[in-house]
A and B are shown apart, each in its own frame.
Chain A
Amino acid sequence: MHKYYKIDGKDFSIAGEASSDFKTVLKKLGTPAEIVRKVAIAMYEAEINTVIHGGGGECDAAIEKDKIVITFRDQGPGIADISLAMQEGYSTANDKIRELGFGAGMGLPNIQKYADDMSIETEVGKGTTVVLSINL
Protein backbone atom coordinates (compact mmCIF):
# COMPACT_ATOMS: atom_id res chain seq x y z
CA MET A 1 0.00 0.00 0.00
CA HIS A 2 1.03 3.57 -0.62
CA LYS A 3 0.75 6.84 1.19
CA TYR A 4 1.30 9.97 -0.79
CA TYR A 5 2.20 13.32 0.74
CA LYS A 6 2.75 16.76 -0.73
CA ILE A 7 5.55 18.54 1.09
CA ASP A 8 5.10 22.29 1.42
CA GLY A 9 8.39 24.14 0.98
CA LYS A 10 7.42 27.41 2.55
CA ASP A 11 5.99 26.54 5.91
CA PHE A 12 8.60 25.32 8.36
CA SER A 13 6.10 25.04 11.17
CA ILE A 14 4.29 22.13 9.53
CA ALA A 15 7.45 20.35 8.41
CA GLY A 16 7.32 16.85 9.81
CA GLU A 17 3.62 16.29 9.26
CA ALA A 18 4.13 13.58 6.66
CA SER A 19 6.44 11.55 8.87
CA SER A 20 4.16 12.05 11.84
CA ASP A 21 1.13 10.81 9.86
CA PHE A 22 3.03 7.84 8.50
CA LYS A 23 4.17 6.94 12.00
CA THR A 24 0.51 6.78 13.06
CA VAL A 25 -0.24 4.55 10.07
CA LEU A 26 2.56 2.15 10.97
CA LYS A 27 1.41 1.98 14.59
CA LYS A 28 -2.14 1.16 13.49
CA LEU A 29 -0.78 -1.61 11.30
CA GLY A 30 0.91 -3.11 14.32
CA THR A 31 4.45 -2.60 12.99
CA PRO A 32 7.09 -3.53 15.58
CA ALA A 33 8.02 -0.53 17.73
CA GLU A 34 11.71 -0.57 16.77
CA ILE A 35 10.86 -0.35 13.05
CA VAL A 36 8.41 2.49 13.67
CA ARG A 37 11.17 4.34 15.45
CA LYS A 38 13.68 3.89 12.63
CA VAL A 39 11.16 4.95 9.99
CA ALA A 40 10.01 7.96 12.01
CA ILE A 41 13.51 9.33 12.50
CA ALA A 42 14.85 8.67 8.99
CA MET A 43 11.68 9.92 7.33
CA TYR A 44 11.58 13.07 9.44
CA GLU A 45 15.14 13.96 8.48
CA ALA A 46 14.40 13.42 4.79
CA GLU A 47 11.21 15.45 5.02
CA ILE A 48 13.02 18.36 6.64
CA ASN A 49 15.65 18.22 3.88
CA THR A 50 12.91 18.38 1.26
CA VAL A 51 11.50 21.46 2.97
CA ILE A 52 14.67 23.42 3.69
CA HIS A 53 16.84 22.42 0.74
CA GLY A 54 14.41 21.16 -1.88
CA GLY A 55 11.90 23.95 -1.44
CA GLY A 56 9.16 21.37 -1.06
CA GLY A 57 8.25 18.37 -3.14
CA GLU A 58 6.47 15.10 -2.74
CA CYS A 59 6.77 11.93 -0.77
CA ASP A 60 5.64 8.42 -1.53
CA ALA A 61 5.73 5.93 1.29
CA ALA A 62 5.18 2.34 0.25
CA ILE A 63 4.72 -0.63 2.50
CA GLU A 64 5.89 -3.71 0.68
CA LYS A 65 6.02 -7.33 1.71
CA ASP A 66 9.39 -7.24 3.39
CA LYS A 67 10.29 -3.56 3.56
CA ILE A 68 9.12 0.01 3.71
CA VAL A 69 10.34 2.20 0.86
CA ILE A 70 10.05 5.96 1.16
CA THR A 71 10.82 8.28 -1.74
CA PHE A 72 11.26 12.04 -1.40
CA ARG A 73 11.38 13.99 -4.64
CA ASP A 74 12.05 17.70 -5.07
CA GLN A 75 12.83 20.14 -7.85
CA GLY A 76 15.34 22.05 -5.75
CA PRO A 77 18.94 23.09 -6.44
CA GLY A 78 20.34 19.56 -6.22
CA ILE A 79 23.41 18.44 -4.29
CA ALA A 80 26.75 19.45 -5.78
CA ASP A 81 28.93 17.08 -3.75
CA ILE A 82 27.18 14.07 -2.25
CA SER A 83 30.18 12.79 -0.28
CA LEU A 84 30.50 16.18 1.38
CA ALA A 85 26.78 16.27 2.09
CA MET A 86 27.03 12.87 3.76
CA GLN A 87 29.58 14.15 6.29
CA GLU A 88 28.29 14.79 9.77
CA GLY A 89 28.08 18.49 10.51
CA TYR A 90 28.33 19.63 6.90
CA SER A 91 25.42 21.79 5.82
CA THR A 92 24.69 24.34 3.13
CA ALA A 93 21.73 25.73 5.09
CA ASN A 94 21.74 29.51 5.37
CA ASP A 95 21.68 31.51 8.59
CA LYS A 96 17.95 32.01 8.49
CA ILE A 97 17.36 28.27 8.51
CA ARG A 98 19.98 27.73 11.21
CA GLU A 99 18.23 30.29 13.37
CA LEU A 100 15.17 28.06 13.22
CA GLY A 101 17.20 25.22 14.66
CA PHE A 102 17.71 23.30 11.44
CA GLY A 103 20.83 22.84 9.33
CA ALA A 104 23.02 21.02 11.86
CA GLY A 105 24.41 18.87 9.08
CA MET A 106 22.99 15.66 10.53
CA GLY A 107 20.15 15.06 8.07
CA LEU A 108 21.69 12.69 5.54
CA PRO A 109 24.02 11.02 8.08
CA ASN A 110 21.01 10.29 10.30
CA ILE A 111 19.02 8.86 7.40
CA GLN A 112 21.93 6.58 6.62
CA LYS A 113 22.18 5.57 10.25
CA TYR A 114 18.53 4.62 10.66
CA ALA A 115 17.60 3.36 7.20
CA ASP A 116 18.70 -0.10 6.06
CA ASP A 117 19.28 1.23 2.59
CA MET A 118 19.47 4.67 1.04
CA SER A 119 20.09 6.08 -2.39
CA ILE A 120 20.37 9.63 -3.70
CA GLU A 121 19.81 10.76 -7.25
CA THR A 122 20.58 14.39 -7.80
CA GLU A 123 21.34 16.87 -10.52
CA VAL A 124 22.45 20.42 -9.84
CA GLY A 125 19.73 22.83 -10.86
CA LYS A 126 17.19 20.06 -11.44
CA GLY A 127 16.41 18.44 -8.11
CA THR A 128 17.01 15.54 -5.80
CA THR A 129 15.37 12.20 -5.16
CA VAL A 130 16.17 10.37 -1.95
CA VAL A 131 14.98 6.80 -1.53
CA LEU A 132 15.27 5.17 1.83
CA SER A 133 14.16 1.73 2.82
CA ILE A 134 13.75 -0.05 6.10
CA ASN A 135 13.41 -3.81 6.30
CA LEU A 136 10.35 -5.28 7.94
Chain B
Amino acid sequence: MSYFHSVTLDTDKCQGCTNCIKRCPTEAIRVRGGKAKIIKERCIDCGECIRVCPYHAKLAVTDSFDMLGDYEYNIALPAPSLYGQFKNTEDANVILTGLEEIGFDSVFEVARGAEAVSAITRRLLQEGSLQSPVISSACPAVVRLIKVRFPNLIGNILNLLSPMEVAAMMARREATEKTGLPDEKIGVFFITPCPAKVTSIKAPLALEQSNVSGAISANEICAKLMPVLKNITQPKPLSVAGMEGVSWARSGGECEGTDTMQYIAVDGIDNVMNILEQIEDEKLDDVDFVELSACLGGCVGGVLNITNSFVTTTRLKHITSELPKRQESCSVTLEDALFRTPIEHEPVMKLDEDFAVAMQKMEQMDALYESMPKLDCGSCGAPSCKALAEDIVRGFGNENDCIFKMRERVRELAKELFDLEARPYGLNNQKEDEDL
Protein backbone atom coordinates (compact mmCIF):
# COMPACT_ATOMS: atom_id res chain seq x y z
CA MET B 1 0.00 0.00 0.00
CA SER B 2 1.39 3.36 -0.96
CA TYR B 3 0.79 6.21 1.41
CA PHE B 4 1.08 9.13 -0.95
CA HIS B 5 -0.72 12.16 0.41
CA SER B 6 -1.55 15.44 -1.17
CA VAL B 7 -2.01 17.06 2.24
CA THR B 8 1.38 18.04 3.63
CA LEU B 9 2.94 20.37 6.14
CA ASP B 10 5.07 23.45 5.68
CA THR B 11 7.23 23.02 8.78
CA ASP B 12 8.50 26.60 8.71
CA LYS B 13 5.00 28.00 8.95
CA CYS B 14 3.73 25.56 11.58
CA GLN B 15 3.46 27.12 15.03
CA GLY B 16 2.60 23.88 16.76
CA CYS B 17 -0.88 25.06 17.81
CA THR B 18 -3.76 22.67 18.39
CA ASN B 19 -6.18 23.72 15.64
CA CYS B 20 -5.50 20.94 13.18
CA ILE B 21 -5.17 18.07 15.67
CA LYS B 22 -8.62 18.88 17.00
CA ARG B 23 -10.24 19.09 13.59
CA CYS B 24 -8.89 15.91 12.03
CA PRO B 25 -11.66 13.30 11.61
CA THR B 26 -9.28 10.34 11.84
CA GLU B 27 -7.07 11.72 14.63
CA ALA B 28 -4.18 11.63 12.20
CA ILE B 29 -2.21 14.65 13.43
CA ARG B 30 0.00 15.09 16.50
CA VAL B 31 2.17 18.00 17.55
CA ARG B 32 5.65 16.74 18.37
CA GLY B 33 8.58 18.97 19.18
CA GLY B 34 6.48 22.04 18.44
CA LYS B 35 5.48 20.96 14.93
CA ALA B 36 2.50 19.10 13.54
CA LYS B 37 3.08 15.60 12.23
CA ILE B 38 0.66 13.75 9.98
CA ILE B 39 0.26 10.03 10.61
CA LYS B 40 0.29 8.86 6.99
CA GLU B 41 -1.62 5.63 7.50
CA ARG B 42 -4.59 7.49 8.94
CA CYS B 43 -4.82 10.60 6.76
CA ILE B 44 -7.73 10.53 4.31
CA ASP B 45 -6.78 13.83 2.59
CA CYS B 46 -10.06 15.50 3.43
CA GLY B 47 -8.35 18.87 3.73
CA GLU B 48 -9.99 19.92 7.00
CA CYS B 49 -6.57 20.80 8.44
CA ILE B 50 -5.81 23.03 5.46
CA ARG B 51 -9.09 24.83 6.03
CA VAL B 52 -8.54 25.32 9.75
CA CYS B 53 -4.82 26.21 9.95
CA PRO B 54 -4.52 29.92 10.82
CA TYR B 55 -0.87 29.98 9.69
CA HIS B 56 -1.47 28.32 6.31
CA ALA B 57 1.06 25.69 7.22
CA LYS B 58 -1.01 22.87 5.77
CA LEU B 59 -1.06 22.62 2.03
CA ALA B 60 -2.17 20.43 -0.81
CA VAL B 61 0.50 19.22 -3.18
CA THR B 62 -0.84 19.38 -6.72
CA ASP B 63 0.76 19.04 -10.13
CA SER B 64 2.27 22.03 -11.83
CA PHE B 65 0.83 23.56 -14.97
CA ASP B 66 4.28 23.12 -16.50
CA MET B 67 3.61 19.40 -16.67
CA LEU B 68 1.69 20.10 -19.89
CA GLY B 69 5.10 20.35 -21.53
CA ASP B 70 5.64 16.62 -20.99
CA TYR B 71 2.91 15.66 -23.45
CA GLU B 72 2.14 16.30 -27.09
CA TYR B 73 -1.59 16.67 -26.65
CA ASN B 74 -3.20 17.98 -23.47
CA ILE B 75 -6.80 17.61 -22.33
CA ALA B 76 -8.34 19.62 -19.52
CA LEU B 77 -10.81 17.79 -17.30
CA PRO B 78 -12.64 20.53 -15.42
CA ALA B 79 -14.53 19.49 -12.29
CA PRO B 80 -18.04 20.94 -12.55
CA SER B 81 -17.33 23.06 -9.44
CA LEU B 82 -15.00 25.14 -11.64
CA TYR B 83 -17.99 26.54 -13.55
CA GLY B 84 -19.18 28.53 -10.56
CA GLN B 85 -15.88 30.17 -9.62
CA PHE B 86 -16.15 33.29 -11.75
CA LYS B 87 -18.08 36.47 -11.28
CA ASN B 88 -20.24 37.55 -14.22
CA THR B 89 -19.55 34.34 -16.09
CA GLU B 90 -22.65 32.26 -16.34
CA ASP B 91 -21.90 30.55 -19.60
CA ALA B 92 -20.01 27.27 -19.32
CA ASN B 93 -18.77 27.73 -22.90
CA VAL B 94 -16.77 30.81 -21.88
CA ILE B 95 -14.90 28.90 -19.18
CA LEU B 96 -14.28 25.89 -21.38
CA THR B 97 -13.05 28.10 -24.23
CA GLY B 98 -10.82 29.84 -21.70
CA LEU B 99 -9.20 26.51 -20.83
CA GLU B 100 -8.26 26.02 -24.47
CA GLU B 101 -6.85 29.54 -24.59
CA ILE B 102 -4.56 29.07 -21.61
CA GLY B 103 -2.85 26.09 -23.18
CA PHE B 104 -4.98 22.97 -23.32
CA ASP B 105 -5.56 21.37 -26.73
CA SER B 106 -9.04 20.25 -25.80
CA VAL B 107 -11.53 20.05 -22.98
CA PHE B 108 -13.55 17.13 -21.69
CA GLU B 109 -16.13 17.94 -19.03
CA VAL B 110 -16.03 15.73 -15.93
CA ALA B 111 -19.78 16.41 -15.81
CA ARG B 112 -20.08 14.10 -18.84
CA GLY B 113 -18.43 11.35 -16.82
CA ALA B 114 -20.89 12.13 -14.04
CA GLU B 115 -23.81 11.69 -16.41
CA ALA B 116 -22.47 8.35 -17.52
CA VAL B 117 -22.07 7.23 -13.89
CA SER B 118 -25.61 8.45 -13.15
CA ALA B 119 -27.03 6.47 -16.05
CA ILE B 120 -25.34 3.27 -14.88
CA THR B 121 -26.30 3.92 -11.26
CA ARG B 122 -29.95 4.23 -12.27
CA ARG B 123 -29.72 0.92 -14.08
CA LEU B 124 -28.07 -0.87 -11.16
CA LEU B 125 -30.52 0.58 -8.63
CA GLN B 126 -33.42 -0.57 -10.76
CA GLU B 127 -31.99 -4.07 -11.06
CA GLY B 128 -31.83 -4.11 -7.28
CA SER B 129 -28.61 -6.09 -7.14
CA LEU B 130 -26.75 -3.64 -4.91
CA GLN B 131 -26.35 -3.77 -1.14
CA SER B 132 -28.73 -1.21 0.33
CA PRO B 133 -28.31 1.60 1.19
CA VAL B 134 -25.94 2.25 -1.69
CA ILE B 135 -23.19 4.70 -0.76
CA SER B 136 -21.78 6.93 -3.49
CA SER B 137 -18.13 6.36 -4.38
CA ALA B 138 -17.56 9.82 -5.84
CA CYS B 139 -15.82 11.49 -2.89
CA PRO B 140 -12.43 9.83 -2.38
CA ALA B 141 -12.08 11.22 1.15
CA VAL B 142 -15.31 9.47 2.12
CA VAL B 143 -14.23 6.19 0.52
CA ARG B 144 -10.95 6.37 2.46
CA LEU B 145 -12.83 7.21 5.64
CA ILE B 146 -14.94 4.08 5.18
CA LYS B 147 -11.81 1.99 4.50
CA VAL B 148 -10.24 3.20 7.73
CA ARG B 149 -13.17 3.58 10.13
CA PHE B 150 -16.26 1.85 8.75
CA PRO B 151 -15.12 -1.47 7.26
CA ASN B 152 -18.63 -2.84 7.73
CA LEU B 153 -19.88 -0.53 5.03
CA ILE B 154 -17.34 -1.32 2.30
CA GLY B 155 -19.93 -3.59 0.68
CA ASN B 156 -22.38 -0.70 0.43
CA ILE B 157 -20.04 1.45 -1.65
CA LEU B 158 -21.31 1.83 -5.22
CA ASN B 159 -18.76 -0.17 -7.23
CA LEU B 160 -18.42 2.38 -10.01
CA LEU B 161 -15.38 4.55 -10.73
CA SER B 162 -15.62 8.26 -10.08
CA PRO B 163 -16.83 10.63 -12.81
CA MET B 164 -13.26 11.92 -13.04
CA GLU B 165 -11.89 8.47 -13.93
CA VAL B 166 -14.72 7.72 -16.33
CA ALA B 167 -14.30 11.10 -18.02
CA ALA B 168 -10.54 10.58 -18.29
CA MET B 169 -11.07 7.21 -19.91
CA MET B 170 -13.49 8.64 -22.46
CA ALA B 171 -11.29 11.66 -23.10
CA ARG B 172 -8.33 9.39 -23.83
CA ARG B 173 -10.35 7.29 -26.22
CA GLU B 174 -11.55 10.35 -28.11
CA ALA B 175 -8.06 11.86 -28.26
CA THR B 176 -6.44 8.65 -29.48
CA GLU B 177 -8.97 8.45 -32.28
CA LYS B 178 -8.58 12.09 -33.20
CA THR B 179 -4.79 12.45 -32.99
CA GLY B 180 -3.49 8.93 -33.51
CA LEU B 181 -0.99 9.57 -30.72
CA PRO B 182 0.10 6.79 -28.38
CA ASP B 183 -1.35 6.88 -24.87
CA GLU B 184 1.82 8.15 -23.21
CA LYS B 185 1.87 11.26 -25.35
CA ILE B 186 -1.60 12.32 -24.28
CA GLY B 187 -1.82 14.35 -21.08
CA VAL B 188 -5.13 14.30 -19.19
CA PHE B 189 -5.31 16.91 -16.44
CA PHE B 190 -8.00 17.08 -13.82
CA ILE B 191 -8.69 20.56 -12.48
CA THR B 192 -9.20 19.72 -8.87
CA PRO B 193 -11.18 21.40 -6.13
CA CYS B 194 -9.59 19.29 -3.37
CA PRO B 195 -6.50 17.36 -2.23
CA ALA B 196 -8.40 14.06 -1.91
CA LYS B 197 -8.78 13.92 -5.70
CA VAL B 198 -5.04 14.48 -6.14
CA THR B 199 -4.34 11.54 -3.87
CA SER B 200 -6.89 9.40 -5.69
CA ILE B 201 -4.87 9.90 -8.87
CA LYS B 202 -1.45 9.13 -7.36
CA ALA B 203 -2.71 6.29 -5.16
CA PRO B 204 -5.90 5.20 -6.95
CA LEU B 205 -8.89 3.64 -5.26
CA ALA B 206 -10.38 0.60 -6.96
CA LEU B 207 -8.04 0.55 -9.95
CA GLU B 208 -4.37 -0.13 -10.59
CA GLN B 209 -3.52 3.04 -12.43
CA SER B 210 -5.44 6.23 -12.92
CA ASN B 211 -6.34 7.44 -16.40
CA VAL B 212 -5.50 10.95 -15.27
CA SER B 213 -1.94 12.19 -15.84
CA GLY B 214 -2.02 14.92 -13.24
CA ALA B 215 -4.17 17.16 -11.06
CA ILE B 216 -3.81 20.91 -11.26
CA SER B 217 -5.31 23.01 -8.50
CA ALA B 218 -8.51 24.94 -9.35
CA ASN B 219 -6.80 27.79 -7.60
CA GLU B 220 -3.92 27.91 -10.09
CA ILE B 221 -6.21 27.48 -13.10
CA CYS B 222 -8.54 30.23 -11.90
CA ALA B 223 -5.63 32.64 -11.66
CA LYS B 224 -4.72 31.86 -15.27
CA LEU B 225 -8.30 31.98 -16.50
CA MET B 226 -9.33 35.23 -14.93
CA PRO B 227 -7.50 37.62 -17.25
CA VAL B 228 -8.51 35.53 -20.28
CA LEU B 229 -12.25 35.10 -19.67
CA LYS B 230 -13.28 38.72 -20.03
CA ASN B 231 -11.80 38.88 -23.53
CA ILE B 232 -13.74 35.92 -24.80
CA THR B 233 -16.52 37.40 -26.90
CA GLN B 234 -17.22 34.43 -29.09
CA PRO B 235 -17.01 31.29 -26.98
CA LYS B 236 -16.79 27.96 -28.76
CA PRO B 237 -19.76 25.63 -28.26
CA LEU B 238 -17.78 23.24 -26.03
CA SER B 239 -20.34 22.66 -23.31
CA VAL B 240 -21.92 19.26 -23.81
CA ALA B 241 -22.95 18.11 -20.34
CA GLY B 242 -26.46 18.72 -19.07
CA MET B 243 -27.78 20.05 -15.82
CA GLU B 244 -27.66 16.66 -14.15
CA GLY B 245 -23.96 16.22 -14.71
CA VAL B 246 -22.92 19.74 -13.74
CA SER B 247 -25.07 19.55 -10.60
CA TRP B 248 -22.75 16.89 -9.19
CA ALA B 249 -20.63 19.81 -8.04
CA ARG B 250 -23.03 20.50 -5.18
CA SER B 251 -24.39 18.28 -2.48
CA GLY B 252 -27.57 16.60 -3.69
CA GLY B 253 -26.68 16.75 -7.36
CA GLU B 254 -25.70 13.12 -7.65
CA CYS B 255 -28.83 11.97 -5.80
CA GLU B 256 -31.08 13.86 -8.17
CA GLY B 257 -29.72 11.82 -11.05
CA THR B 258 -30.59 8.48 -9.47
CA ASP B 259 -34.33 8.76 -10.12
CA THR B 260 -35.08 7.45 -6.64
CA MET B 261 -36.87 9.55 -4.07
CA GLN B 262 -35.44 7.51 -1.21
CA TYR B 263 -32.13 9.30 -1.06
CA ILE B 264 -30.16 11.34 1.40
CA ALA B 265 -27.34 13.78 0.62
CA VAL B 266 -24.97 14.52 3.47
CA ASP B 267 -22.09 16.99 3.34
CA GLY B 268 -19.38 18.01 5.78
CA ILE B 269 -17.05 15.45 7.33
CA ASP B 270 -18.68 15.47 10.79
CA ASN B 271 -22.14 14.96 9.33
CA VAL B 272 -20.75 12.22 7.12
CA MET B 273 -19.30 10.35 10.10
CA ASN B 274 -22.54 10.72 11.97
CA ILE B 275 -24.62 9.26 9.16
CA LEU B 276 -22.12 6.43 8.59
CA GLU B 277 -22.52 5.49 12.27
CA GLN B 278 -26.26 5.39 11.73
CA ILE B 279 -26.02 3.27 8.61
CA GLU B 280 -23.66 0.93 10.45
CA ASP B 281 -26.21 0.50 13.22
CA GLU B 282 -28.95 -0.07 10.63
CA LYS B 283 -30.90 2.94 11.84
CA LEU B 284 -31.33 4.30 8.33
CA ASP B 285 -33.72 1.78 6.91
CA ASP B 286 -35.84 3.90 4.59
CA VAL B 287 -33.05 5.11 2.32
CA ASP B 288 -31.83 3.51 -0.93
CA PHE B 289 -29.07 5.89 -1.95
CA VAL B 290 -26.62 7.88 0.16
CA GLU B 291 -24.54 10.67 -1.32
CA LEU B 292 -21.69 11.73 0.93
CA SER B 293 -19.29 14.66 0.48
CA ALA B 294 -16.48 15.36 2.90
CA CYS B 295 -16.70 19.09 2.18
CA LEU B 296 -19.61 21.25 3.27
CA GLY B 297 -21.76 22.00 0.25
CA GLY B 298 -20.19 19.19 -1.80
CA CYS B 299 -17.28 19.69 -4.23
CA VAL B 300 -18.05 23.41 -4.36
CA GLY B 301 -16.71 23.46 -0.79
CA GLY B 302 -13.31 22.01 -1.76
CA VAL B 303 -10.35 23.83 -0.21
CA LEU B 304 -8.69 24.54 -3.54
CA ASN B 305 -11.59 26.58 -4.91
CA ILE B 306 -11.33 30.35 -4.86
CA THR B 307 -14.99 31.21 -4.32
CA ASN B 308 -17.23 30.79 -1.29
CA SER B 309 -19.18 27.57 -1.65
CA PHE B 310 -22.59 29.19 -1.14
CA VAL B 311 -21.87 31.70 -3.87
CA THR B 312 -20.71 28.92 -6.18
CA THR B 313 -23.85 26.88 -5.53
CA THR B 314 -26.07 29.81 -6.48
CA ARG B 315 -24.06 30.51 -9.62
CA LEU B 316 -24.26 26.85 -10.60
CA LYS B 317 -28.04 27.02 -10.36
CA HIS B 318 -28.04 29.89 -12.86
CA ILE B 319 -25.57 28.14 -15.15
CA THR B 320 -27.41 24.82 -15.12
CA SER B 321 -30.79 26.41 -15.73
CA GLU B 322 -29.56 27.18 -19.25
CA LEU B 323 -28.52 23.59 -19.89
CA PRO B 324 -30.54 20.63 -21.12
CA LYS B 325 -31.66 18.50 -18.15
CA ARG B 326 -30.25 15.13 -18.97
CA GLN B 327 -27.58 14.52 -21.59
CA GLU B 328 -26.03 11.19 -22.20
CA SER B 329 -23.26 12.34 -24.42
CA CYS B 330 -21.00 9.34 -24.43
CA SER B 331 -21.18 5.62 -24.60
CA VAL B 332 -19.82 4.15 -21.41
CA THR B 333 -20.49 0.51 -20.73
CA LEU B 334 -20.96 -1.03 -17.30
CA GLU B 335 -17.58 -2.76 -17.73
CA ASP B 336 -15.93 0.59 -18.42
CA ALA B 337 -17.22 2.06 -15.19
CA LEU B 338 -16.92 -0.90 -12.81
CA PHE B 339 -14.25 -1.00 -10.08
CA ARG B 340 -11.16 -2.82 -11.31
CA THR B 341 -9.93 -3.85 -7.86
CA PRO B 342 -11.94 -4.29 -4.65
CA ILE B 343 -11.91 -1.70 -1.88
CA GLU B 344 -10.22 -3.19 1.15
CA HIS B 345 -10.32 -2.48 4.85
CA GLU B 346 -7.26 -0.76 6.28
CA PRO B 347 -7.18 -1.66 9.94
CA VAL B 348 -5.00 1.26 10.99
CA MET B 349 -7.08 2.02 14.06
CA LYS B 350 -6.66 -1.31 15.79
CA LEU B 351 -4.39 -1.55 18.81
CA ASP B 352 -2.66 -4.82 18.04
CA GLU B 353 -2.66 -7.72 15.63
CA ASP B 354 -3.27 -10.11 18.53
CA PHE B 355 -6.74 -9.77 20.07
CA ALA B 356 -5.54 -10.68 23.58
CA VAL B 357 -2.71 -8.15 23.43
CA ALA B 358 -5.10 -5.54 22.05
CA MET B 359 -7.34 -6.17 25.03
CA GLN B 360 -4.46 -5.68 27.49
CA LYS B 361 -3.60 -2.43 25.75
CA MET B 362 -7.22 -1.32 25.95
CA GLU B 363 -7.22 -1.96 29.71
CA GLN B 364 -4.01 0.03 30.15
CA MET B 365 -5.53 2.76 28.05
CA ASP B 366 -8.64 2.93 30.22
CA ALA B 367 -6.54 3.09 33.40
CA LEU B 368 -4.36 5.85 31.96
CA TYR B 369 -7.38 7.79 30.81
CA GLU B 370 -8.88 7.63 34.29
CA SER B 371 -5.78 9.35 35.68
CA MET B 372 -5.95 12.18 33.16
CA PRO B 373 -7.49 15.64 33.61
CA LYS B 374 -10.07 14.96 30.83
CA LEU B 375 -9.88 18.53 29.61
CA ASP B 376 -8.90 17.57 26.05
CA CYS B 377 -6.77 20.70 25.97
CA GLY B 378 -4.44 19.39 23.29
CA SER B 379 -1.31 20.75 24.97
CA CYS B 380 0.28 17.30 24.88
CA GLY B 381 0.04 17.32 21.10
CA ALA B 382 -2.73 14.72 20.92
CA PRO B 383 -6.31 15.74 20.11
CA SER B 384 -7.79 14.48 23.40
CA CYS B 385 -6.89 12.81 26.69
CA LYS B 386 -8.22 9.56 25.24
CA ALA B 387 -5.98 9.91 22.21
CA LEU B 388 -2.94 10.54 24.44
CA ALA B 389 -3.75 7.46 26.51
CA GLU B 390 -3.91 5.51 23.26
CA ASP B 391 -0.64 7.01 22.02
CA ILE B 392 1.12 6.02 25.25
CA VAL B 393 -0.11 2.46 24.96
CA ARG B 394 0.89 2.33 21.29
CA GLY B 395 4.35 3.49 22.33
CA PHE B 396 4.46 6.94 20.79
CA GLY B 397 3.49 9.11 23.73
CA ASN B 398 4.59 9.74 27.28
CA GLU B 399 2.59 10.48 30.40
CA ASN B 400 4.73 13.55 30.98
CA ASP B 401 3.46 14.98 27.69
CA CYS B 402 0.39 15.95 29.71
CA ILE B 403 1.17 19.32 31.29
CA PHE B 404 -1.18 18.64 34.19
CA LYS B 405 0.50 15.34 34.96
CA MET B 406 3.82 17.06 34.58
CA ARG B 407 2.78 19.77 37.03
CA GLU B 408 1.69 17.10 39.50
CA ARG B 409 5.07 15.46 39.23
CA VAL B 410 6.88 18.75 39.68
CA ARG B 411 4.80 19.40 42.79
CA GLU B 412 5.67 15.97 44.17
CA LEU B 413 9.33 16.47 43.42
CA ALA B 414 9.28 19.92 45.02
CA LYS B 415 7.68 18.48 48.12
CA GLU B 416 10.29 15.76 48.25
CA LEU B 417 13.06 18.33 47.95
CA PHE B 418 11.46 20.49 50.62
CA ASP B 419 11.16 17.51 52.98
CA LEU B 420 14.76 16.60 52.35
CA GLU B 421 15.90 20.11 53.06
CA ALA B 422 13.82 20.40 56.28
CA ARG B 423 15.18 17.20 57.76
CA PRO B 424 17.53 17.64 60.72
CA TYR B 425 21.12 16.67 60.14
CA GLY B 426 21.86 12.98 60.11
CA LEU B 427 22.45 10.92 63.25
CA ASN B 428 26.20 11.20 62.94
CA ASN B 429 25.99 14.95 62.83
CA GLN B 430 23.72 14.97 65.89
CA LYS B 431 26.21 12.89 67.81
CA GLU B 432 28.96 15.27 66.90
CA ASP B 433 26.76 18.13 68.13
CA GLU B 434 26.31 16.43 71.47
CA ASP B 435 30.03 15.85 71.74
CA LEU B 436 30.63 19.52 71.34
CB distance B281 to A30 under 8 Å?
A: no
**Residue-wise interface mask of A (15-39) relative to B, using a CB-CB cutoff of 8 A (1 in contact, 0 not):** 0000110010101111101101100
Q: Which residues of B contact A37 (CB under 8 A)?
A: 152, 280, 282
- A–B Cβ pairs within 8 angstroms, 24 of them: A1-B359, A1-B362, A1-B363, A20-B277, A25-B362, A27-B149, A27-B349, A28-B358, A28-B362, A28-B390, A29-B350, A29-B355, A29-B359, A29-B362, A30-B350, A30-B352, A30-B353, A30-B358, A31-B355, A33-B152, A34-B152, A36-B152, A37-B152, A41-B281
A28 CA / B350 CA spacing, docked (Å): 4
**New A-B contacts (13) at CB < 8 Å, excluding given A19-B281, A28-B362, A29-B358:** A1-B359, A23-B280, A25-B362, A27-B350, A28-B390, A29-B359, A30-B347, A30-B351, A30-B353, A33-B152, A37-B152, A37-B282, A44-B281
Contact residues of A between 84 and 109, Cβ < 8 Å to B: none
B151 contacts the other chain (CB 8 A): yes
Which residues of B lie under 8 Å from residue A1 when comparing CB positions? 359, 362-363
B345 within 8 A of A: yes
Q: Chain B 271-287 against A: per-residue CB contact (8 Å), 1 yes, 0 no?
A: 00000010011110000
Instruction: Determine the chain B residues whose CB is within 8 A of the CB of A36 once the complex forms.
Output: 152
Question: Which residues on the B side are within 8 Å of A63 (C-beta)?
Answer: 359
Bound complex: CA A34 to CA B280 (Å): 10
Report the interface size for chain B: residues with CB under 8 A from the other chain. Answer: 22
User: Who on chain B is nearest to A114 by CB?
Assistant: B282
Number of interface residues of A (CB under 8 A): 19
Instruction: Decide yes or no whether A40 CB sits under 8 A from chain B.
Output: yes
**Could you give, for residues 41-73 of chain A, a 1 whenever the CB lies within 8 Å of some chain B CB and a 0 otherwise?**
100100000000000000000010000000000
Cα-based distance from A84 to B390 in the complex (angstroms): 45
Q: List chain A residues, Cβ under 8 A from B283.
A: 44
Give me the interface of A with B, judged by CB distance under 8 Å.
Answer: 1, 3, 19-20, 23, 25, 27-31, 33-34, 36-37, 40-41, 44, 63
A28 touches B152 (CB 8 A): no
Minimum CB–CB distance for B151 against chain A, Å: 5
Q: How many A-B contacts at CB < 8 Å in the complex?
A: 47
Cα–Cα, bound, A20→B149 (Å): 13
Interface majority SS on A: helix, strand, loop or mixed? helix
Are A40's CB and B280's CB within 8 A? yes
State the Cβ distance, B370 to closest chain A Cβ, in Å.
12
Interface residues of B in 217-254 (CB under 8 A from A): none
Q: Which of B132-180 contact A (CB under 8 A)?
A: 149, 151-152
Chain B residues numbered 333-358 whose CB sits less than 8 Å from any CB in chain A: 345, 347, 349-353, 355, 358
Distance (Å) between the CB of A101 and the closest chain B CB? 10
Contacts of B345 in A (CB 8 A): 33
CB contact under 8 A between A40 and B358, given known A1-B363, A30-B347: no
Interface centre among B277, B281, B350, B353 (most CB of A within 10 A): B281
B362 cross-chain contacts in A, Cβ below 8 A: 1, 25, 28-29
Complex Cα–Cα for A40 and B280 (A): 8
**Which residues of chain B are near A29, meaning CB under 8 Å?**
350-351, 355, 358-359, 362
Q: How far, in Å, is B26 (CB) from chain A's closest CB? A: 12
Contacts of B351 in A (CB 8 A): 28-30
Cα A43 to Cα B312 in complex, Å, equals: 43
Find chain A residues with CB under 8 A from B359 CB. 1, 29, 63
